[in-house]
Amino acid sequence: MSASPVKIGLCGLGTVGSGVVDIFQASAKLIAKRAAVPVELAHIGARRDRPGCDTSAYRVSRDIFEVATDPDIDVVVELIGGTTVARDLVVAALEAGKHVVTANKALIAEHGNELAALAESKGLALRYEAAVAGGIPVIKALRESLAGNRISSVAGIINGTGNFILTEMSSAGRSFDDVLAEAQALGYAEADPTFDVDGTDAAHKLVILASLAFGIPLAIDGAFTEGINVIEPADLRYAEELGYRIKHLGIARRVGDRVDLRVHPTLIPSDSQIANVNGVLNTVMINADAVGEVVLVGPGAGALPTASSVMGDVVDLARLLGRGQSDPIPVMGVPQSDVASLPAVPREQVESAWYVRLRVEDRPGVMADITRLLSAEGISIESLIQRPPKAGSSEVDVVVLTDNASTGQLDRAWLAIEALPAVKVAAGRYRVEEFKGE
Amino acid sequence: MSASPVKIGLCGLGTVGSGVVDIFQASAKLIAKRAAVPVELAHIGARRDRPGCDTSAYRVSRDIFEVATDPDIDVVVELIGGTTVARDLVVAALEAGKHVVTANKALIAEHGNELAALAESKGLALRYEAAVAGGIPVIKALRESLAGNRISSVAGIINGTGNFILTEMSSAGRSFDDVLAEAQALGYAEADPTFDVDGTDAAHKLVILASLAFGIPLAIDGAFTEGINVIEPADLRYAEELGYRIKHLGIARRVGDRVDLRVHPTLIPSDSQIANVNGVLNTVMINADAVGEVVLVGPGAGALPTASSVMGDVVDLARLLGRGQSDPIPVMGVPQSDVASLPAVPREQVESAWYVRLRVEDRPGVMADITRLLSAEGISIESLIQRPPKAGSSEVDVVVLTDNASTGQLDRAWLAIEALPAVKVAAGRYRVEEFKGE
């Protein structure tokens, strides 16, 4: 171990940043053995101290850009989040010749094309294992392990906060607001949880997975996105009754020479493995021509699991830098010059089975009207629930599970059904997918 | 892509070897993009042609050592299996300055210390992702992704053939011999299936996982090993009745400064994720201080899944060699000079719950004797099954699930119970573990 230490600059002392400090404090010796070179946390940039995180042994700057341009630093770890200052910081670090490790999915999804091109033009690494699925090594699986495969789909539960909320709502019958408050207290959800509940966070991650899987540019507007904030407790109950659970899935499929990217609540069979991935756990299922299906499960959020992925990237780079070598792996799996767009499958053509929930007047002929309108669009009914009205009410819930139908078919039937005078609320429609996760 | 091609020499055209040829034929262009350099299958060594595997486009030698010493070749892929000629071949390749990729668990488990030392002394790579759990990227997860973690346990189903046989015996009530014959026809089991059924194959893999997890030398005699050939159909039925399934698990745990390595049939709760990993699927659960638990599931055998892992290693090396770089990752996760033994937990101290099956005379007092002898060793009974005798028989099955007890306690009670005159067959005893796999 004669090589001089590899020096790490850490920007951001939030949840994940403090986890990185914890790992350095707990495991520096072990990490030095594995990297075959000492790896030193040499400079921390943070606007303020973090209670409970002892940084007295380190050089600390209040200006994170001092870390990015510190001539002593080899690798800058960006953990400040957001896409404005974080982007400037990563650009500054790359311009200053530093390798970069980040956990920032929004940054990679929105500015990754530009940042990857900059990193590759300078022969520098831009690593982001922690940006998708927390502690699960899915970036490495796609970018390295499966490099001999043509990937046909990547799908999974890729937002830990959302899965935690759905699990609690479903198993404990708790309200959305109540569970969200707990998720924030546990450090899973951001202070502003908008991206977790409206699907944006999962879309960021899906776009990264799709880019790696299919060699396409990062394009955040390429994914159809629906969040968990549209799900009502009644949907969770009816789904369970029909033998399904509702999970918030990201799905990226290659269909011929086109791609289908979407993030939405999805009914999946209750007895499938993925339906039982609960709480803050994430899972990613990869289908590919040689390997078949590989499924990864692990914590999708939290300080230490996410920091574990950050440190995996740091050790990868330290092993290279300790020998004076550069990162041999293209940022997005293929060199930027080989990244090529594929057209999207038009949304109206995307097929699946569907769950439809309506609130209708309890009078003869209503069910006949609904089934006729579905049938007129060529949509078959797989199963149907109708409950007697509650005491004092003249309205009933009607829940329909359909066979496979395109989004176009379903949209047209939905419009016609909504227009029926007896239909009071067209409450929700979700896709049903037969993912097994095994 | 101006770099000259990285040239691969393939030794062995069995199931996995033909899978590697298939991948080169299907995906050479894609692999060249990902590696940022052409990767060329330049020389095949095989004693004979393989029906259905077209090698007419390649240079083929009947003497595999011609591949190992071919001055044109950068990376030798060893897929001949066994530990004698394979060892000589890998030594010859390393001596000739070639990097080596292998799928051979027996070779790594039995000669890995020596081969790793030789590879590291020459600055060459020795990669073996395909040696454990087929298409699941578990070597990379342990050696790279989790490099910032202290690993506390690695456990899983790591023999695809064995899991296929157990699954079929359990779900279809088929006989061991019948299912084994099918596994051989499907190409999962070797012509000589001894290692698959007596636990040796799983022990080889466990020893590799434990070495990576704990930084200890490879030591095949360090693992307690029991195969699936001891399981009777009655055990599968009784386990199911008690809410468990029997799976063949490899378990490596760090207990303080000692390690516990074992491979044996294990009862796990029927509703756990791992109990539902069926057929030729494998699963590996890794527990570590930072990440918590990560679970990987995928095909544990078969031509293309195993070839997928071989190609992952090949692309990793091609990316490095295309830039004139060496493999920065120590063969066993830490440099050989840092590999250090840890003592084993004495077997009599290893604790777990137990499943015990006896065949006893159907007469008063027998159950009292059995429960007294368990109690005398401090072993509590968790549940118990006794069936009425079949017509014409005077013997009954007694099945006991115990609470936690050490192997020493159970061994002493077992000896005393076996000595009871009423006990006709002390049929089996298996550990019960509460693995969840999630």
Q: How far apart are CA B288 and CA B294, in angstroms?
A: 8
B325 in the same domain as B250: no
Give the model's pLDDT for residue B1: 44
Q: How confident is the model at residue A435 (pLDDT cuts 50, 70, 90)?
A: confident
Q: Is the pLDDT of residue B151 over 70?
A: yes
Tokens of A261: 């990217």
CB A136 within 8 A of CB A282: yes
Each residue's pLDDT tens digit, B261-275: 999 999 999 988 899
Q: Is the pLDDT of residue B191 over 80?
A: no
Give the model's pLDDT for residue A1: 44
A281 in the same domain as A317: no
Q: Is the pLDDT of residue B188 over 80?
A: no
Pairing of strands A75-78, A99-102: parallel
The kind and range of the H/E element at A35 are helix A15-35
User: Span A35-42, mean pLDDT?
Assistant: 98
Q: How far apart are CA A254 and CA B126, in angstroms?
A: 34
Residue that terminates a domain, selected from A338, A363, A395: A338
B394: domain CATH number?
3.30.70.260
Pairing of strands A405-406, A395-402: unpaired
Tokens of B123: 């600055």
Nearest alpha carbon to residue B252 among B216, B303, B290: B216
- In Å, how far are B38, B89, B163, B194 from B169, measured between CA atoms? 46, 39, 10, 18
What range does the domain containing B124 cover? 6-134+303-338
Residue that terminates a domain, selected from B299, B329, B358: B299
Give the model's pLDDT for residue B362: 92
Give the model's pLDDT for residue A2: 54
Residues of B in contact with A297 (CB under 8 A): 273, 294-297, 437-438
> DSSP secondary structure string, A310-340?
HHHHHHHHHHHHTTT----S-TTSS-GGG--
Give the model's pLDDT for residue B438: 43
Which of B295, B328, B335 has its CB closest to that of A298?
Answer: B295
Which of B148, B150, B293 has its CB closest to that of A315?
Answer: B148
Pairing of strands B151-157, B395-402: unpaired
CA B17-B21-B23 angle, to 5 degrees, is 115
User: Span B102-108, mean pLDDT?
Assistant: 98
Each residue's pLDDT tens digit, B173-182: 888 888 988 8
Give the model's pLDDT for residue B337: 97
Tokens of B158: 């790591």
CA atoms within 13 A on the CB side of A158: 35
Which residue(s) pair with B299 in the sheet?
B281
Task: State which residue of chain A sits closest to B276, comparing Cα positions.
Answer: A273
Q: Is residue A33 part of a domain?
A: yes
Give the model's pLDDT for residue A438: 44
- For residue B115, the one-letter residue type is L
Each residue's pLDDT tens digit, B15-55: 999 999 999 999 999 999 999 999 999 999 999 999 999 99
Q: How far apart are CA A6 and CA A38, in angstroms?
A: 6
Pairing of strands A423-432, A351-361: antiparallel
User: Span B316-344, mean pLDDT?
Assistant: 98
Query: To the nearest 10°, the Cα dihedral for B230, B231, B233, B238?
Result: 140
The total domain count for chain A is 3
Q: Does B270 touch chain A (CB under 8 A)?
A: no
Task: State which residue of chain B sits closest to A22, comparing Cα positions.
Answer: B290
Each residue's pLDDT tens digit, A284-334: 999 999 999 999 999 998 999 999 999 999 999 999 999 999 999 999 999
Please state, for a pLDDT cut of 70, what percent of chain A lies above it: 99
Q: Is residue B154 part of a domain?
A: yes
CB A372 within 8 A of CB A252: no
Q: 0.80 cut: is pTM over it?
A: yes
Which residue(s) pair with B295 in the sheet?
A297, B285
Match 């009974």 to its residue by tokens.
Answer: B381
A36 in the same domain as A93: yes
Each residue's pLDDT tens digit, B395-418: 999 999 999 999 999 999 999 999
CB A290 within 8 A of CB B305: yes
Residue that terminates a domain, selected from B338, B359, B388: B338
Q: Active-site residues of A: which are they?
A: 205
Each residue's pLDDT tens digit, B213-222: 999 999 988 8
Give the model's pLDDT for residue B388: 84
Give the model's pLDDT for residue A436: 58
Give the model's pLDDT for residue A197: 92
B376 in the same domain as B327: no
Q: How far apart are CA A34 and CA B143, in angstroms?
A: 8
B153 in the same domain as B285: yes
Cβ burial A45-56 (10 Å sphere, 16+ → b, else e): bbeeebeebebe
Q: Is the pLDDT of residue A124 over 90?
A: yes
Tokens of A391: 């005491």
Q: Do A140 and B135 touch (CB under 8 A)?
A: no
CB A113 within 8 A of CB A355: no
User: Span A254-282, mean pLDDT?
Assistant: 94
Q: Is residue B120 part of a domain?
A: yes
- For residue A221, the one-letter residue type is D
ipTM: 0.95
Q: Which of B7, B98, B105, B205 is catalytic?
A: B205
Q: How confident is the model at residue B392 (pLDDT cuts 50, 70, 90)?
A: confident
CB atoms < 10 A from the CB of B274, how many? 24
A326: domain CATH number?
3.40.50.720
Q: Do B328 and A320 touch (CB under 8 A)?
A: yes
User: Span A75-99, mean pLDDT?
Assistant: 98
A129 in the same domain as A16: yes
Q: Is the pLDDT of residue B2 over 70?
A: no
Q: What is the mean pLDDT of chain A?
A: 95
B252 in the same domain as B178: yes
Walk across the sheet containing B60-61 and list its strands.
Answer: B60-61, B39-45, B6-11, B75-78, B99-102, B126-127
B220 in the same domain as B207: yes
- For residue B176, the one-letter residue type is F
Residues with Cβ within 8 Å of B392's Cβ and at least 6 positions away in sequence, in order, are: none
Q: Is residue A393 part of a domain?
A: yes
B294 in the same domain as B317: no
Three-class HEC string of B12-61: CCCHHHHHHHHHHHHHHHHHHHHHCCCEEEEEEECCCCCCCCCCCCCCEE
A235 in the same domain as A179: yes
Q: Is the pLDDT of residue B434 over 90?
A: no
Q: How far apart are CA B104 and CA A157, in angstroms?
A: 34
B360 in the same domain as B289: no
CB A302 within 8 A of CB A134: yes
Q: Is residue B139 part of a domain?
A: no
Q: Is residue B50 part of a domain?
A: yes
In chain A, positions 136-175, which contact chain B (CB-CB < 8 Å)? Answer: 136-137, 140-141, 144-150
Please state, for a pLDDT cut of 90, what percent of chain B lies above it: 86
A364 in the same domain as A316: no
Q: Is the pLDDT of residue B436 over 80?
A: no
B286: domain CATH number?
3.30.360.10
Residues with Cβ within 8 Å of B394's Cβ and at least 6 positions away in sequence, in order, are: B361, B362, B363
Taking every pair of Cα atoms in chain A, the longest distance, rounded to a whole number of angstroms, is 85
Q: Is residue B385 part of a domain?
A: yes
Each residue's pLDDT tens digit, A194-218: 999 999 999 999 999 999 999 999 9
Each residue's pLDDT tens digit, A373-382: 999 999 999 9
